[in-house]
């Protein structure tokens, strides 16, 4: 007689029973689990907050996305942070096209989500306040490509921070608000040079 059963194999599993506990009304137990996790992760969250720059930008389409990317980095969801950085690049380009491109046909093309983002960046070159933004945005997309398309499976936190920092530089260069002479004003190239140096970059 032939035994058609599949051989037992050792496999790795991910199990999350918290949704079941919530549905069963065991909220106190769920609170205990989540508080324990938070307390264990808190030192890392504080350390990661210390690694990212302060944020002072005009509220635009990309505003919520960069805030979420920062939050994901602080919470150690590195691949998610990189993904949101890529989305923020596109949202930033759309904001620039809407605000600074006068040609209506070109504006429609540059705000079309079906168009490739790298092409949008190149076509927007003359509309960036600070030319280096072009390079920073391409660098963000380079990092995003490597990890989101699984060319690399392990995500070092240093690469995520690099992605976040390059994005911050571009966002601050284009929509950053700096305080001086009793009022908030848009970033100047000198503001960004100094900001980049504080992040450890001298190539602006």
CA atoms within a 13 Å half-sphere pointing along the CA-CB vector of 75: 13
Tell me the average pLDDT across 96-109. Answer: 94
Query: Does an H or E element contain 106, and which?
Result: helix 104-110
Mean pLDDT estimate for the chain: 90
Q: Which residues make Cβ contacts (< 8 Å) with residue 65, sequence separation at least 6? A: 84, 87, 88, 91
CA geometry: angle 157, 162, 166, nearest 5 deg: 150
In this prediction the pTM is 0.84
Q: What are phi and psi of 185, to 5 degrees?
A: -140, 165
Q: Which residues make Cβ contacts (< 8 Å) with residue 48, sequence separation at least 6? A: 73, 74, 76, 157
pLDDT confidence band for 103 (50 / 70 / 90):
very high
pLDDT confidence band for 146 (50 / 70 / 90):
confident
Q: Which residues make Cβ contacts (< 8 Å) with residue 182, sequence separation at least 6? A: none
**pLDDT over threshold 80, residue 202:** no
């Amino acid at each position: 007689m032939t035994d058609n059963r599949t051989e037992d194999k050792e496999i790795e599993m991910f199990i999350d029973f918290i949704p079941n506990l919530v549905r069963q009304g065991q909220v106190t137990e769920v609170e205990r689990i989540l508080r324990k996790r938070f307390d264990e992760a808190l030192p890392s969250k504080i350390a990661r907050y210390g690694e990212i720059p302060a944020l002072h930008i005009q509220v635009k389409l990309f505003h919520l996305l960069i805030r979420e990317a920062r939050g994901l980095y602080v919470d150690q969801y590195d691949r998610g942070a990189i993904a949101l950085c890529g989305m923020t690049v596109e949202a930033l380009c759309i904001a620039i096209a809407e605000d600074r491109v006068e040609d209506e046909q070109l504006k429609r093309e540059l705000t079309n989500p079906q168009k490739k983002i790298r092409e949008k960046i190149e076509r927007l070159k003359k509309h960036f306040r600070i030319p280096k933004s072009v390079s920073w945005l391409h660098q963000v997309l380079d990092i995003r490509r490597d990890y989101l398309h699984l060319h690399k499976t392990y995500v070092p936190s240093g690469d995520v921070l690099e992605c976040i920092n390059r994005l911050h530089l571009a966002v601050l260069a284009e929509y950053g608000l700096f305080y001086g002479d009793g009022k908030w004003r848009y970033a100047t190239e000198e503001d960004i040079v100094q900001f980049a140096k504080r992040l450890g970059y001298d190539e602006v």
